[in-house]
Chains A and B, each alone.
Chain A
């Protein structure tokens, strides 16, 4: 159908234009908020690879985000001069490796068991980050200096400039989201969906359920690790807050509010969460109270999350009527 193609392109182009020119439109102080939204959007997408496509709720997903953050911070500090891309890659790979390790023990179990076991491992990671002071500096955390980027022919690019940081973050976030999107469209991604619906049947059809789940889980860990590395670059700092239970819980809340049924749903949740938090924390210190109520309301009344409010089908129907 022509119209649908145009509709999707139109949406895509509008979003792309908006994101590209965002730092020009909004005041500088809000660019910080935009960068944070970008990073958490990537984190939420990786989280939803597990919850959305596998139908398993990883309650301790900050383990891989935090792992990426710590590894990136350690490389910034101990191996000066390493290119930024290499550092972020190392963060992502550390997320991957720790997710393979955790997933090996967790993905066999389902439902509440899986949720809790991932949280158990995350708390173990947290305890190590908290107490292994020689390496992680405990809850005081580690400061990081943003490196300068060298482009052949273009010269130096300082990341202390917030707009530069925005575009660099945008580049890696888009890369990560694209990778996750393509991954979810592979035959492997589709077989994961069959396991969400009925993993016994999938196993009778000859799929290796354990290996498929482990692969999806590990890949999600990789993307979360990348988000963690970007988080350090943005914050210029890493502490146990990047790997604690609150971080795990926050990403659950963001993704559920946005809606986990569709690929881009969690991003909507991140945008809502961040802007809501930015707005309401000026008015009250107890903003978690209101956010908690929004969250409960979504669980009770809006199962598909915020994205289920956007009904593209209706627009499509209207367009097809115009055509005929």
Chain B
């Protein structure tokens, strides 16, 4: 006992925070660039987890689902952007928000129709089973895998955004879409790609979360509310803000459960309210 339990709890918080960040980063990217708060993003995360279940059941390989599931969901995201979101784009952001909101319901129910309402288990893949010694206690390997994997994704995303031509275009479109369009980039295609990429990223998070949190129809709403707290605290559209806020929420939940289990959830929304009262645009958000 003593310091160990705090270390373990901090690690739990870090793992959950990174998982939330994987989902929230796609949401933030789409919001920053297109101004759409995509509520269906949480459904993409959920679909990712469900496809992971199906692939592991029928093909018996968890790693395969890490490729197949984001691929399917990414295509679904592209179709959503092209055939549902683009037609309502001219009607403004509220119509876009409402559309993704309807989609959130439809996809949530579709999951129930296809896979049923019961929680489904996804087994932890063989090599990641078990615990490793951690000071005088043990720590599940799979959680460490989530941590490493999400850091890997984070670094990959940083390289993509900062070092490649596509990344430069995405960042440019985030600050001024019209100018990028005028300079000869096909912005609608870029939007479609980013939307699909964001959906695929959410699906990756869903796959990774599946063995850890199990797969159930309410998982979309759970993660939606957490992500939503994260992007509000971090500041709408700020990637760095989302990162900081995701870690804050992860740790807050982890230690909240340890110290005052009853009010852990209240703290989360209280933190959000306090941040908003002091800085209405979030910690790192730009002033409107």
Task: Write out the residue numbers on chain B whose beta carbons fall within 8 Å of the beta carbon of A120.
Answer: 228-229, 232, 269, 272-273, 276
B288 touches A252 (CB 8 A): no
State which of A112, A286, A303 has its C-beta within 8 Å of the C-beta of B236: A112
- Complex Cα distance, B94 from A112, in Å, reads 7
B99 touches A296 (CB 8 A): yes
Which residue among A119, A128, A286, A296 has the maximum number of chain B CB atoms within 10 Å of its CB? Answer: A296
A-B contacts counted at CB < 8 A amount to 111
Mask of B223-244 contacts with A, CB within 8 angstroms, 1/0: 0010011001000100000000
A292 touches B225 (CB 8 A): no
The residue on A at minimum CB distance from B231 is A116
Known: A131-B262, A286-B113, A289-B110. A123 touches B225 (CB 8 A): yes
B155 CB, nearest partner CB in chain A, Å? 29
Among the 9-residue stretches B57-65, B101-109, B199-207, the one with 4 or more Cβ atoms under 8 Å from chain A is B101-109
Among the 9-residue stretches A90-98, A103-111, A265-273, the one with 4 or more Cβ atoms under 8 Å from chain B is A103-111
A57 touches B270 (CB 8 A): no
- Complex Cα distance, B228 from A117, in Å, reads 10
- Complex Cα distance, B229 from A117, in Å, reads 10
A124 touches B99 (CB 8 A): no
Interface residues on B, range: 35 or more
Mask of B261-288 contacts with A, CB within 8 angstroms, 1/0: 0110110111011001100110000001
Main secondary structure of the interface of B (DSSP, over half): helix
A124 touches B272 (CB 8 A): yes
Task: Write out the residue numbers on chain A whose beta carbons fall within 8 Å of the beta carbon of B265.
Answer: 127, 130-131
Mask of A283-324 contacts with B, CB within 8 angstroms, 1/0: 001101101110110011001000000000000000000000
Knowing that A127-B269, A292-B106 are A-B contacts, what are 14 other residue pairs whose CB atoms are under 8 Å apart, sorted by A's residue number? A105-B280, A112-B35, A113-B280, A115-B97, A120-B272, A124-B273, A131-B266, A133-B262, A252-B101, A288-B105, A295-B102, A296-B84, A299-B98, A300-B84
A residues near B (Cβ < 8 Å) are 57, 105, 108-113, 115-117, 119-121, 123-124, 127-128, 130-131, 133, 245, 249, 252-253, 256, 285-286, 288-289, 291-293, 295-296, 299-300, 303
B residues near A (Cβ < 8 Å) are 31, 35, 37, 84, 87-88, 91, 93-95, 97-99, 101-103, 105-106, 108-110, 112-113, 221, 225, 228-229, 232, 236, 262-263, 265-266, 268-270, 272-273, 276-277, 280-281, 288
28 A-B residue pairings within 8 Å (CB atoms): A57-B97, A57-B98, A112-B93, A112-B97, A116-B228, A116-B232, A120-B228, A120-B229, A120-B272, A120-B273, A127-B266, A131-B266, A249-B105, A253-B102, A256-B98, A288-B105, A289-B105, A289-B110, A292-B102, A292-B103, A292-B105, A293-B102, A293-B106, A295-B98, A296-B99, A299-B88, A299-B98, A303-B95
